[in-house]
Structure 1
Amino acid sequence: MGSSTRNSEAGLSFERVFDAPPELVFACLTQPGHLSHFWAPLGASAPVEEIHIDPRPGGRFETLIVNDTSGATYATRSVFLEVQAPTSLVWHEEHSGMTVRITLSALPEGKTLFHLHQTNVPDIVRQPRNQAGFKTTLDKLADYVHYLAHGGHQ
């Protein structure tokens, strides 16, 4: 699995190749039962009962991330701008002011090229510690979709 990160004034971009088809990756990004498995950095969790998602333009996307050690919580509140199953999701984060665009492209052998681009990125999100944490979320997603695509069940 390859990964790359670009940091520029235009925003931040992340790319990964996931060992699962776009339809499965898209489902994992839009269903609470799937999101709860990876939607938090290592050392934190996203309780399924605190994930509210309505994947349509104008629909809400709200989560609560809980620090597994301290119990501290971080709420996210977003609104979908675009939803094109199974190829793209765009949302605006009200809590950070950031806009997130995810595109999923089918690759041979049932794999997916995942591209995420963030614009209007706050300085705190650009900090190395937060970037490292976000990458662990992508690692968790990669492991989860691989598990599902190769015989695992939720």
Structure 2
Amino acid sequence: MSNLNNRTLTLERTFDAPIELVWEAWTQPEHIAQWWGPKGMKTEVIAHNFEVGGSWKYSMKMPDGSDFIANGVYLEIIEFEKIRTSADFKPMTEGVELQILLKKNGNKTNFTFHVVHATEEYCKQQEEMGFYNGWGSTFERLNEYLVEKTL
């Protein structure tokens, strides 16, 4: 197995929202549907069994009307701290692991997002395909959603 760091893409943000709200945004379907996916995409939560071994499946409507399916299985859940899940975003990304790490920072929440790929080559390919723009846009939406909720 190659070096984990060479197979991992990471984004970090500080959300101006309490950790409890950020946790809810990641773990409750009615919240997820409001921010998941890049700007302009509508997301439907098809399955959301938030427990270790539980599966999730979201459908995003592409601008051309086609459906983009994302799904996975929860591997580890530590309340207000960590979510680890397998993930497939067919046909663009398959067989990755998402790691959502949260840390309380007063009334704000420090957020670290890792995507672990099977190989270094696959990781580089995903980065070149626009990993930072796609997830960056998604987390902008999450940030806007959290700000709305905290007003």
Tell me, yes or no, whether TM beats 0.5: yes
Identity %: 25
TM-superposed deviation, 1:54: 1.3
Of structures 1 and 2, the one scoring higher in RCO (CA 8 A, sep 6+) is 2
RMSD: 1.7
> Counterpart of 2:99 in 1: which secondary structure?
strand
**Contact 1:125–1:131 at 8 Å: present in 2 too?**
no
Q: Report the number of matched residues.
A: 139
TM-superposed deviation, 1:57: 0.6
Alignment deviations for residues 32-69 of structure 1 (CA, whole Å, 9 cap, x no partner):
1101111011121202xx332111110111101111x3
2:99 paired residue among 101, 105, 113:
101
- C-alpha distance in 2 between matches for 1:141 and 1:52: 20
TM-superposed deviation, 1:116: 0.7
Establish whether residue 145 from structure 1 lines up as the match of residue 146 from structure 2.
Answer: yes
2:19 counterpart residue number: 22
> Counterpart of 1:97 in 2: which secondary structure?
strand
Counterpart AA for 1:97 = G
- C-alpha distance in 2 between matches for 1:140 and 1:131: 14
2:136 counterpart residue number: 135
**Contact 2:11–2:132 at 8 Å: present in 1 too?**
no
TM-superposed deviation, 1:119: 0.6
**Contact 1:23–1:85 at 8 Å: present in 2 too?**
no
Matches within 5 A, 1:1-150: 9-47=6-44, 50-67=45-62, 69-95=63-89, 96-108=94-106, 110-120=107-117, 122=122, 125-150=126-151
- C-alpha distance in 1 between matches for 2:134 and 2:40: 9
- C-alpha distance in 2 between matches for 1:117 and 1:33: 24
Counterpart AA for 2:96 = M
